[in-house]
Amino acid sequence: MHRLFVAIRPPEHVRDLLIDVMDDSPDFRWQSDDQLHLTLKFIGEVERPVANDIADALAKLRAASIELRIAGVGRFDQSNSGALWAGVLPKEPLAALAAKIDRACLAAGIGPERRAFHPHITLARWKGRRSREATAFVDRNAGLRSAPFAIDTFTLFESRLSRHGAHYEEAASYPLG
């Protein structure tokens, strides 16, 4: 089985900006540089023939390159866990690309995305109650901004889970523009 997702990998200078806001707080499990990405479609576990069909469908996709920027931070809260993230704008071209990727995956036999699209790059995760710590991080970094940066590819990644967290391996890269 192959655990797949489609994402945009920000350029190094943007990843450096994101790493700079990560602190040494033991309250959070910070993402490593290799884990920083903007998910366009989580596919999940599939057999090799389906993975090949997905790769072929994505290769046929046509979309324009996109100019993005980092804009603020936020958090997702669940009952006893959560995540800190950096926002990415503008949403509209990313949502359009995500919809095209969703349709390509649908043609390859993968079910449609049911969640609303919220473009972000996960910075950290937590377990337990960390509301005060998460609020403090968001307050400290609310003004996080980057200069615009161009994105001219998106990538199909394979995720391998271990007790040390997820490791992402590029399966294929696709041009935009």
Cβ neighbors of 18 (< 8 A, separation 6 or more) are 10, 36, 70, 86, 121, 123
pLDDT of residue 24: 78
Give dist(CA 3, CA 151) in Å, integer.
24
Token pair belonging to 1: 């089985």
pLDDT of residue 119: 98
pLDDT of residue 73: 98
pLDDT of residue 121: 98
Phi, psi of 106 (to 5 degrees): -60, -40
Q: Are 119 and 89 in contact (CB under 8 A)?
A: yes
pLDDT of residue 79: 84
* DSSP states along 94-143: HHHHHHHHHHHHHHTTPPPP-SPP--EEEEEEEES--HHHHHHHHHHHTT
Ordered domains of the chain (ranges, CATH): 2-175 (3.90.1140.10)
pLDDT of residue 161: 82
pLDDT of residue 74: 97
Look at the chain and count its residues. 177
29: β partners: 125
The model carries a pTM of: 0.94
pLDDT of residue 107: 94
In tens digits, what is the pLDDT along the chain, a chain of 177 residues?
Answer: 999 999 999 999 999 999 999 987 888 999 999 999 999 999 999 999 999 999 999 999 999 999 999 999 999 998 889 999 999 999 999 999 999 999 999 999 999 989 899 999 999 999 888 888 999 999 999 999 999 999 999 999 999 887 777 789 999 999 998
The beta strands (E) that lie in 47-135 are given as 66-77, 81-89, 120-127
The residue type at 172: A
